[in-house]
């Protein structure tokens, strides 16, 4: 047997991270700069800020659970009140670049995006983030140097496991902790529609089936369930109902730790210190 179970706190069988990539308009401007002049396209991102985030916060409060919101610096600057509301709710705010552009093949731009995003978090809402998630999971080797240089605890950009693990830096020293994700636990592939790339928008039943199947087996394995939502997608009325239903479903399983990325990474670091991983 290949045992992948982790020693989670208080005898928990698995850990659950409910994460929200609060991209707002940057989701669209990063794909095509001309979208900055297309109010109809941008209105999808604004919906995420104006309606999606408040409704998600209400849903998390009703369920009495904490989430992790990865927020680009541009969003922090332009929707500061919503990021303040996230923090007031006791949720974690993580780093998600500055403008959500994909820069893994441009080292100079990668540094600029990373450091400008950090500065926006600090200057606008006083946040020194513990974790980072790259836009669309696009990363370079340079990213892990930046994460270590700026003292972040964890990354959540890679898809090569269902458990946390520690990166090794190029010089052989310990790097950041990775909290893996996967496209199958992301609302965007199922429900992000664009006129330029039209595709079906799947019903809640389709998404819930995938999300529940992954949870059942990750629970069985004793791993980390790291699911990604976008406020402009899951903030829609029917999707809010889906989020509520998913949380209730997860809660039917005994011994589940629903927590933030920072708490998962801190726990993993503690296990390492004990020699338990």
Q: Which of 157, 203, 204 is nearest to 176 (CA)?
A: 157
Residue 9 lies inside a defined structural domain of this protein: no
Please give the model's pTM, rounded to 2 decimal places.
0.96
Q: What CATH number did the domain enclosing 104 receive?
A: 3.20.20.370
Residue 74 lies inside a defined structural domain of this protein: yes
Q: What average pLDDT does range 206-221 have in this prediction? A: 98
**What is the predicted pLDDT for the residue at 30?**
81
- Report the number of distinct structural domains present in the chain: 1
Residue 122 lies inside a defined structural domain of this protein: yes
CA-CA-CA-CA dihedral for 42, 44, 46, 51, to nearest 10: 170
Using 50, 70 and 90 to split pLDDT, how confident is the model at 139? confident
Residue 1 lies inside a defined structural domain of this protein: no
Its domain, for residue 202, covers 14-274
Residues 63-119 pLDDT 10s: 999 999 999 999 999 999 999 999 999 999 999 999 998 877 788 888 999 999 999
Residue 5 lies inside a defined structural domain of this protein: no
Packing angle between helix 107-125 and helix 80-88, nearest 10 degrees? 70
Residues 147-188 pLDDT 10s: 999 999 999 999 999 999 999 988 899 999 999 999 999 999
Residue 75 lies inside a defined structural domain of this protein: yes
Residue 231 lies inside a defined structural domain of this protein: yes
Residues 236-265 pLDDT 10s: 999 999 999 999 999 999 999 999 999 999
Residue 8 lies inside a defined structural domain of this protein: no
Q: State the chain's mean pLDDT as an integer.
A: 94
């Amino acid at each position: 047997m290949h045992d992948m179970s982790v020693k989670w706190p208080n005898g928990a069988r698995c850990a659950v991270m409910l994460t929200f990539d609060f991209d707002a308009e940057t989701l669209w401007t990063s794909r095509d700069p001309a979208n900055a002049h297309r109010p109809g396209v941008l209105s999808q991102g604004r919906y995420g800020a104006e309606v999606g985030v408040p409704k998600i916060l209400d849903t998390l409060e009703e369920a009495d659970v904490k989430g992790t919101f990865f927020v680009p610096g541009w969003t922090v600057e332009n929707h500061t009140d919503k990021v303040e509301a996230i923090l007031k709710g006791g949720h974690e705010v993580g780093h998600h670049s500055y403008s959500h552009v994909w820069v893994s093949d441009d080292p100079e731009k990668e540094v600029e995006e990373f450091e400008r995003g950090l500065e926006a978090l600090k200057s606008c809402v006083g946040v020194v983030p513990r974790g980072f998630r790259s836009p669309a999971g696009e990363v370079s080797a340079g990213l892990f140097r930046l994460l270590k240089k700026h003292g972040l605890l964890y990354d959540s950009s890679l898809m090569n496991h269902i458990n946390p693990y520690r990166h090794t830096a190029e010089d052989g020293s310990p790097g950041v902790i990775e909290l893996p994700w996967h496209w199958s636990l992301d609302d965007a592939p199922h429900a992000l529609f664009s006129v330029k790339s039209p595709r079906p928008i799947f019903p809640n039943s389709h998404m819930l089936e995938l999300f529940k199947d992954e949870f059942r087996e990750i629970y069985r394995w004793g791993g980390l369930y790291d699911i990604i939502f976008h406020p402009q997608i899951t903030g829609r009325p029917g999707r809010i109902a889906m989020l509520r239903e998913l949380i209730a479903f997860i809660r039917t399983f005994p011994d589940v730790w629903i927590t933030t990325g920072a708490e998962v990474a801190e726990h993993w670091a503690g296990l390492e210190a004990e020699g338990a991983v």
